[in-house]
């Protein structure tokens, strides 16, 4: 096998994702999400009383307006799971696919994206209950965020090769299409309707986030540019006013200045002294 035949030198869309460098090689957010999810599940299993408390106050459970307004639930429910296989599926997808997105965007952006996609599932489920489309129940799981991660990969690397159930090869975009079809079939049979709605919501949020992320970045850049232009214009106007006041002092004397003009001169003196102050030792 030549060096260019190895997985780690192939483009992402030509790779089958493998165990790689193991747990220690994971980026920080993915690693800590895995640890926290697993730890909470084990603690809840070993300490049932504490587990009941965590699920009672951490799950999305829109049984009344008061509980719907407990906004922390759309975040905390993402760290609770309904069983071993529920946990295993979510953590496996996060382990194999999450590092691609985190390394591409950076840890802070990835965490924000992951939690927003997960929160979207909780919000949509709550709205469905609020509008009587579904009965109120308890919903837990990281699937909204997980499906958001898969949506991100499908948009960034649609031809990335994955192994469904570790056996069936397919591209990332085909895997997402298959998951959508399976979700709608599950909903049609009336099984886990709330959970599947959360899955699809996380997936949709992932697509929307990536679709409008460039627009949002441009919007922030325009706002920043406008703010700088406004600041520069203010500084220019301030300097013009200082020049006018100094010219007045030269012509008529300082005793002719109004209180506002004197305040402007004091502010100009303060700024000049601040700019002339030497930097502290050790700064660069």
3-220: CATH, from 1.10.3720.10, 1.10.287.130, 2.40.37.10, 1.20.1540.10: 1.20.1540.10
What's the pLDDT tens digit per position in 171-199? 999 999 999 999 999 888 888 888 889 99
For 143-171, the pLDDT digits (tens) are: 999 999 999 999 988 888 887 777 788 89
Model confidence, pTM: 0.70
Q: How far is Cα 233 from Cα 257, in angstroms, rounded to an integer?
A: 24
Instruction: Give the model's confidence band at 281: pLDDT under 50 very low, under 70 low, under 90 confident, else very high.
Output: very low
Helix spans in the chain (H): 28-46, 48-58, 65-68, 73-76, 84-105, 107-130, 143-156, 172-188, 193-252, 259-276
Banded pLDDT at 231 (limits 50, 70, 90):
confident
**Tokens, residue 231:** 């600041």
What is the biggest distance separating any 2 CA atoms in the chain, rounded to whole angstroms?
90
Where in the chain are the domains?
Answer: 3-220, 226-274
In eight-state DSSP terms, residue 63 is S
> How many alpha carbons lie under 13 Å from residue 198 in its C-beta half-sphere?
28
Distances (CA, A) of 256 to 220, 245, 248, 270: 46, 10, 8, 21
């Amino acid at each position: 096998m030549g060096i260019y035949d190895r997985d780690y030198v192939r483009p992402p869309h030509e790779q089958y994702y493998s165990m790689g460098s193991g747990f220690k090689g994971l980026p920080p957010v993915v690693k800590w999400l895995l640890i926290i999810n697993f730890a909470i599940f084990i603690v809840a299993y070993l300490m049932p009383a504490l587990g009941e408390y965590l699920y009672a106050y951490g799950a999305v459970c829109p049984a009344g307006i008061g509980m719907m307004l407990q906004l922390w639930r759309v975040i905390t429910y993402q760290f609770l799971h309904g069983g071993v296989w529920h946990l295993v599926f979510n953590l496996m997808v996060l382990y194999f696919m999450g590092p691609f997105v985190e390394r591409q965007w950076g840890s802070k952006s990835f965490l924000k994206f992951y939690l927003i996609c997960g929160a979207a599932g909780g919000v949509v489920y709550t709205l469905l209950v609020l509008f009587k489309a579904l009965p109120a129940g308890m919903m837990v799981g990281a699937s909204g965020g997980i499906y958001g991660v898969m949506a991100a990969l499908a948009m960034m690397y649609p031809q990335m090769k994955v192994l469904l159930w570790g056996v069936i090869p397919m591209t990332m975009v085909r895997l997402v299409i298959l998951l959508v079809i399976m979700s709608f079939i599950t909903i049609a049979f009336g099984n886990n309707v709330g959970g599947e709605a959360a899955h699809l919501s996380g997936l949709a949020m992932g697509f929307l986030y990536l679709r409008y992320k460039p627009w949002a970045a441009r919007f922030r850049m325009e706002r920043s540019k406008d703010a700088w232009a406004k600041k520069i214009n203010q500084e220019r106007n301030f300097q013009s006013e200082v020049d006018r006041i100094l010219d007045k002092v030269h012509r008529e004397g300082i005793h002719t200045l109004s209180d506002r003009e004197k305040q402007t001169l004091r502010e100009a003196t303060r700024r000049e002294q601040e700019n002339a102050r030497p930097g502290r030792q050790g700064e660069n």
